[in-house]
Amino acid sequence: MSLYPQIKKFFLGKSLPTSAHSEERLSNAAALAVLSSDALSSVAYATEEILLVLVAAGTSALGLSLPIAIAIIFLLGIVVLSYRQTIRAYPQGGGSYIVARENLGLYPGLVAGGSLMIDYILTVTVSISAGTAALISAIPVLQSHGVLLCLIFIFLLMLANLRGVKESGQIFMIPTYAFIGSIFLLIAIGLFKNSTGQVITEYPSLPVTEGLSLFLILRAFSAGCTALTGVEAISDGVLAFKPPEWKNARLTLLYLGVILGLMFVGISYLANTYHIVPEEGQTVVSLLGRVILGTGPFYYFVQIVTLLVLLLAANTSYGDFPRLCYFLARDGFLPRQLSLLGDRLVYSNGIVLLSVCAGILVIIFKGQVNAVIPLYAVGVFTSFTLSQAGMVRHWFNEQTGSWHASALMNALGAITTFVVLIVIIYTKLLLGAWLVVVAIPLLVSLFALIHRHYQYVAQRLSIQGIAPRSYIPRPKPEFITHPAVVVVGQLNRGTVEALDYARTIADEIVAVHVDMGTTDREKLQKKWRHLESDIPLEIIGSPYRSVIEPIVNFVSQFEEHHPDVFTTIIIPAFVTRNWWDGILHNQTTLFLKNALKAKKSRVITTVRFYL
Amino acid sequence: MSLYPQIKKFFLGKSLPTSAHSEERLSNAAALAVLSSDALSSVAYATEEILLVLVAAGTSALGLSLPIAIAIIFLLGIVVLSYRQTIRAYPQGGGSYIVARENLGLYPGLVAGGSLMIDYILTVTVSISAGTAALISAIPVLQSHGVLLCLIFIFLLMLANLRGVKESGQIFMIPTYAFIGSIFLLIAIGLFKNSTGQVITEYPSLPVTEGLSLFLILRAFSAGCTALTGVEAISDGVLAFKPPEWKNARLTLLYLGVILGLMFVGISYLANTYHIVPEEGQTVVSLLGRVILGTGPFYYFVQIVTLLVLLLAANTSYGDFPRLCYFLARDGFLPRQLSLLGDRLVYSNGIVLLSVCAGILVIIFKGQVNAVIPLYAVGVFTSFTLSQAGMVRHWFNEQTGSWHASALMNALGAITTFVVLIVIIYTKLLLGAWLVVVAIPLLVSLFALIHRHYQYVAQRLSIQGIAPRSYIPRPKPEFITHPAVVVVGQLNRGTVEALDYARTIADEIVAVHVDMGTTDREKLQKKWRHLESDIPLEIIGSPYRSVIEPIVNFVSQFEEHHPDVFTTIIIPAFVTRNWWDGILHNQTTLFLKNALKAKKSRVITTVRFYL
């Protein structure tokens, strides 16, 4: 009892009062760092995922990665423009769950919520795995400890978020801008060295395992679409901007689109020019770094910065997932515990849930980014589609200002993301996407079940129609008003005090003792008659040596004979000085209470004797 | 709640009534099988352990194993003759704990008890490891799964014993006599083939890692002394024999000594003649079998029978260990739970404890017999010495019949086993015996601590000097006789009923509600005034969002204002229909009860509302 709080305090710090809650407003540059690390960091793995699909058709197919990347940039443009409309319409922050629920109804909202939950978990898994891959690329000796490293990173993120990391723009800006800067520098050096012909590379000859088909190209496209994950974060966090919030948010979203697009297409172009083929234990960015920069300090800088930005990306899920869980729990679709602020003013239960789920996925998929990728993006594009479709409905309901243009933009967004969703499911279904396709409806059913349970409880506990208590005359039974059963193990000081207590509250008392075959009945009765002559003692035999069952049966019968009144079941318990002394005694009290609960006994009183 | 009993019933069978307890009486032949498998089975590893020590001094030293074995047989003779005296003096069964405690006093008794506990655990570890080694010798492909096999065997023994294996002589006789028969047959064939010169072997040349010294010879002797473990079992189980019990037991012990001695010296002789050198993955018996019998059916028969007899040997510990724990727990030296008969009339807790300890040792020592051997025998010879010394004292107290001869025999036994104990500790101390040398006093201290705790509890709970309850007039306080605090989360049906109950037992009631910053205080007070106007409602603010602390503090203050009376703390709780529904609700009730326990609140009443 006294150790746990100390450990907790050491790791998480002191409790914070509710009044310490406050929101920081971010400059646009800081907001880009805080809200967009998820989107930006996908540059670290998106190109690689495209190449990993194409390489099945041989090195000649790898050239297709550039047009695919450009198509994805085009898609990015549509999504960015579409979300700019959302920001205008929801200046308070319009997450997919809220937008879909308000405009499309309950179930689309829940589908959006469920998809987002899954995706936030996968964001942690993918980002941590990719970050670890960047680290391992730089330090290959760590290769056999990938899963362990991932789990350590998740644990550290969990601790940091349980402590309550303020999303402090200043600190977040450093790795994000270092990442952006170093990727652009890498691209620039790469372009320069290539144009001056300093580095000459060629594709190795690789076995062709699959013919080049439209399906393969679509699959590569689907794999690359993971670059778009996290784009919606700015529209969720409009309130974090300085006023005028929505205008700043729109502008920042545009910047994000441009920066992400340039980095993605730049890396994809270089991967082509430098004939990069994905290989085990080396990320594409690392391979590019090695060939362009050698293994000098700047190469290691790029890798470390990539790891850091991916940790930040995972960290954004630690803000978004618990907040989404809070919304769902507040509305009664998830367990209430997820809506409670912890000691450090964060939704601790959501943070732990996210960490456990992400950790399990890391273990199942062995920390391999490309093993998880087929699951990723299904959720994102589901929530994209629902959110954009909700916006179309929104504009038709509102009909204010230039709503025609906005509706058209959102409709384009909705249709495009829906088509991409179909493509993603079609091409990756058998690779693992089916897991998500199955999980979303399961999650929505779970939401509905939980909601039904809470409604049932509320209805059963409702005080509607109950008469005011003190005004009604309570019925007075003729004989007994308040019976009590006292459970007697041995006749000791604790039992004596419990019987004393029983006398103060009850007017019919019976004591019950179970003889497992080891009681000297005569001796016990004699002692009893001496000390407690006013209370009858029932001794019940127990041929099967169970204490619990005979007592529970006795109590049941007793309660049947005393209907319409509360029967108090009094259990004397002695409390040892330390928990370890407790090991030396039977846990009968606990089992007895559970058994009485199963038999629906109403009133159970523990009279404790402190040693 | 409903799943666990079913699983338990499936594995362990139905509960048995206490009256089903009965004892089977065994013929001498059956008793030899039941009680002596531990002693007899040590033939499977004792010779090997001697050779494993000697081989360090090169193959020329291996010849010393025969004289060492003969010395051990000599020792065996002394121990057997000495224990025959014990049987005569304790026809009810004289385990070392009982003999040492009765004759030498409490602490020697506890040392004997602790030594035996350790040794029973080691018997399981060694026997199971040796049995697995026999199996692996026959089927080398299993070699990498040794630890797993050991754990499976332990688990099966545990299940079988939790079900309650009747020590049915008939079934036990088969593997034991098959083992005895096949070892004698192996020896006979080996002698015959050797005398006819059919098999010619030579020692391979091996590196000499250690010079031949007296210390090495003594160490080999110590290793071989493990052959004597289990010899005391017959003297513990005298009551299992047919009348006249003690005479039959004495005779059987003599048979055991002769059979064990012949097998041991036979195997040791053959190992010399056939130039056996211990090797990884093959036991000495298996090597002998392979060279004498080839790998025909009889070879496999020997290996399987060896495995079975070793499983039986481990099984005897499953009888002895829980029984010893029962004695120690009954006398208050071990937790009471170890003295309770389980559903199947066995000491279930002792069985589980033994399995867990043996399993841990198997894992630590990786299931290697020769890694555990240095720990073994320390306990046995400690309890031998104490038991024989106790017998000497016994004879001097009794002075009946031919007590002089018996006392002399026991004195010889005590001195011899004591000298051997010193040799064992001296030669194996650094190899692992120190663990046992440290563990025995630790265990005895633990016994003493536990005993002190139980004495303290008994004294605190004693009813000595308490006046008969109903005769003394209880003091009547002037104002309040019985106050109650009702904890209110929400004002719902459950709370209303708890307040109704409070009115039936208390004459001063106060309700307390904690506002974590989310309560609409005005609305709650209004509803309260409407429904429960006769009871005041205190609303306490909680800036740190804890529910528990404010309530506990309130209750503490309230109890301070009401000294000398029982304050009932009433906690309304609602019980969900299934345990999984319970996950959806906070566990505040449980935490609150624990916190109140820490604050030493005396009377806590739960009023349950069943959904």
Give me the CATH number covering residue A524: 3.40.50.620
Nearest chain A CA: its distance from B478 CA (Å): 15
Q: Nearest by CB to A504, which of B481, B499, B532?
A: B481
Confidence of residue A127 (pLDDT cuts 50, 70, 90): very high
3-state secondary structure at position A1? coil
The structure tokens listed for B348 are 């279930």
Asked if B563 is an interface residue toward chain A (Cβ–Cβ < 8 A), one would say no
Q: Which residue of B has its CA nearest to A474?
A: B500
All residues of chain B having their beta carbon less than 8 Å from the beta carbon of residue A491 are 463
Residue B479 has pLDDT above 60, yes or no: no
Hey, is the C-beta of A504 within 8 angstroms of any chain B C-beta? yes
For residue B471, tell me if it sits in a domain: no
Confidence of residue B1 (pLDDT cuts 50, 70, 90): very low
Is B197 exposed, middle or buried (CB count within 10 Å of its CB: 0-12, 13-18, 19+)? exposed
One-letter amino acid of A211: G
User: Structurally, how many domains does chain B consist of?
Assistant: 2
Q: Which of A188-192, B253-257, B472-476 has the lowest mean pLDDT?
A: B472-476
Chain A residues within 8 A of B607 when measuring between CB atoms: 566, 602-603
A482 near B CB under 8 A: yes
Q: For residue B1, list chain A residues with Cβ-Cβ distance below 8 A.
A: 594, 598
User: Using the beta-carbon criterion (under 8 Å), do A493 and B462 form an inter-chain contact?
Assistant: yes
Q: Which of B336, B344, B463, B546 to mutate to test the interface with A (most CBs of A within 10 A)?
A: B463
pTM over 0.80: no
Chain centroid to CA A412:
31
Do the chains contact at B601 and A583, CB–CB below 8 Å? no
According to DSSP, the residues that pair with A486 across neighbouring strands are A511, A570
Co-location of B553 and B436 in the same domain: no
Cα distance from B494 to chain A (closest Cα, Å)? 6
Interchain CB distance below 8 Å, A605 and B606 = yes
Residue of B nearest to A343 (CA): B544
Residues A425, A343: one domain? yes
Facing residues of B539 across strands? Answer: B513
- A602 in contact with B, Cβ within 8 Å: yes
Average pLDDT, chain A: 85
Rounded to 5°, angle at Cα B493 from B491 and B495: 55
Residue B181 CB-density burial (10 A; 0-12 exposed, 13-18 middle, 19+ buried): exposed
Which residue carries 């004939």 as its tokens?
Answer: A275
A461's CB contacts (< 8 A; 6+ apart) are B490, B492, B493, B494, B574, B609
Q: Give the mean model confidence (pLDDT) for residues B244-273.
A: 89
CB contact under 8 A, B586 and A534: no
Sheet of B483-487, strand order: A537-541, A508-515, A483-487, A568-575, A603-610, B603-610, B568-575, B483-487, B508-515, B537-541
**A132 and A232 part of one domain:** yes
Alpha-carbon gap, residue A443 to A109, rounded angstroms? 12
DSSP symbols for A380-402? HHHHHHHHHHHHHHHHHHH--SS
Model confidence band, residue A145 (pLDDT cutoffs 50, 70, 90): confident
Nearest to B101 by CA among B394, B443, B422: B394
Q: Are residues A532 and A400 part of one domain?
A: no
Structure tokens at A197: 């012909």
Q: Per-residue confidence at B445, pLDDT binned at 50, 70, 90? A: very high
Does B172 reside within a domain?
yes
Compare all CA atoms of chain B with the CA of A588 and give the residue at the minimum distance: B337
Strand A508-515 and strand A537-541: the pairing is parallel
Which residues of chain A does B343 touch, with a Cβ-Cβ cutoff of 8 Å? 544-545
pLDDT of residue B382: 92
A216, part of any domain: yes
For residue A148, CA distances in Å to A246, B98, B334 come to 42, 53, 41
pLDDT, position A352: 93
Same domain, B431 and B497: no
Q: What is the CATH number of the domain that holds B286?
A: 1.20.1740.10
Distance from CA of A17 to the nearest CA of B (A): 4
- When pLDDT is cut at 50, 70 and 90, the band that residue A165 belongs to is low
A406-427 pLDDT, tens digit per residue, is 888 889 989 999 999 999 898 8
Residue B462 lies in a domain: no
- pLDDT tens figures, B200-257: 677 777 777 777 888 889 989 988 888 888 888 888 778 778 888 888 888 988 898 8
Out of A474, A493, A604, closest to residue B605 by CB: A604
Same-domain status, B287 and B180 = yes
Which residues in chain A are closer than 8 Å to B581, comparing Cβ atoms? 453
Asked whether residue A248 falls in the same domain as residue A386, the answer is yes
Question: Count of residues for chain A?
Answer: 611
> Domain check: are A428 and A515 in the same one?
no
Residue among A450, A531, A566 minimizing CB distance to B504: A566
A382-391, A581-590, B252-261: least confidently modelled range: A581-590
Domain assignment present for residue B11? The answer is: no
B204 touches chain A (CB under 8 A): no
Rounded distance between C-alpha atoms, residue B109 and residue B382, angstroms: 11
Determine how β-strand B508-515 pairs with β-strand A508-515: unpaired
What pLDDT, on the 0 to 100 scale, is given for residue B21? 61
Tokens of B77: 């003779």
Instruction: Kindly determine whether residue A463 and residue B610, on different chains, have CB atoms separated by under 8 Å.
Output: no
A597 contact B CB<8A: yes
Q: Does the pLDDT at position B474 exceed 60? A: no
Give B-chain residues touching A336 at CB under 8 angstroms: 584-586
pLDDT tens digits for range A247-292 = 888 898 889 889 999 999 999 999 988 888 888 888 888 999 998 8
In a domain, A163, yes or no: yes
Residue B107's domain spans which residues?
25-455
Contact partners, residue A108, CB within 8 Å, separation at least 6: A100, A101, A386, A389, A390
Is B459 an interface residue toward A (CB < 8 Å)?
no
At A168 the pLDDT is: 59
Predicted ipTM > 0.90: no
Q: Are A435 and A325 contained in the same domain?
A: yes
A583 at interface of B, judged by CB pairs closer than 8 A: yes
Name residue A61's amino acid: A
DSSP for A70-96, written as a single string: HHHHHHHHHHHHHHHHHHHH-TT---H
CB contact under 8 A, B469 and A19: no
Cβ contact B468–A533 (<8 Å): yes
Does B234 map to a domain?
A: yes
CA angle A335, A97, A400 (to 5 degrees): 145
Contacts of A310 (CB under 8 A, 6+ apart): A41, A44, A127, A128, A130, A131, A134
Closest to B194 in 3D by CA, of B280, B264, B292: B292
Both A526 and A586 in a single domain?
A: yes
Q: Which pLDDT score is estimated for B477?
A: 44
Residue B17 belongs to some domain of the structure: no
Task: Give the range among B20-24, B134-138, B286-290, B515-519 with minimum mean pLDDT.
Answer: B20-24
What is the DSSP-derived secondary structure letter of residue B514? E
Q: For B129-149, what is the mean pLDDT?
A: 90
Tokens 């506002």 correspond to B515
* A266 and A364 together in one domain: yes
B200 CB near a chain A CB, below 8 Å? Answer: no
Cβ separation A603–B602 shorter than 8 A: no
Domain boundary among B455, B470, B496: B455
- Would an 8 Å CB–CB cutoff place A532 in contact with chain B? yes
CA distance A368 to A150: 10
Same domain, B381 and B491: no
Residues in chain B: 611
Angstrom distance (rounded) from CA B413 to CA B390:
11
At a CB cut-off of 8 Å and minimum separation 6, what does B196 contact?
none
Residue A430 per-residue DSSP state:
I
Q: What is the percent of chain B with per-residue pLDDT over 70, rounded to a whole number?
A: 91
Read off the pLDDT band of B181 (50, 70, 90).
Answer: very high
Mark residue A13 as left, alpha or beta (left: phi above 0; alpha: psi -120 to 50; beta: remaining). Answer: left
Look at residue A462 in the predicted model and tell me its pLDDT: 80
* Distance separating alpha carbons of residues B272 and A525, to the nearest angstrom: 72
Quote the tokens at residue A136.
């391992």
Q: Does B432 touch chain A (CB under 8 A)?
A: no
Strands A508-515 and A483-487: parallel
H/E element, B607: strand B603-610
Residue of B nearest to A607 (CA): B603
Which residues of chain B does A470 touch, with a Cβ-Cβ cutoff of 8 Å?
Answer: 532-535
How confident is the model over A459-507, as pLDDT tens digits? Answer: 888 877 777 765 444 444 444 568 899 999 888 888 888 888 888 888 8
Query: A with B: how many residue pairs have Cβ under 8 Å apart?
Result: 202
pLDDT at residue A333, rounded to an integer: 92
Q: Output the average pLDDT for chain B.
A: 85
Pairing mode, strands A603-610 and B603-610:
antiparallel
Q: Exposed, middle or buried, B291 (CB in 10 Å: 0-12/13-18/19+)?
A: middle
Give the model confidence (pLDDT) of B318-346 as tens digits: 888 988 898 898 888 998 888 877 766 77
A476 interfaces chain B, CB cutoff of 8 Å: no
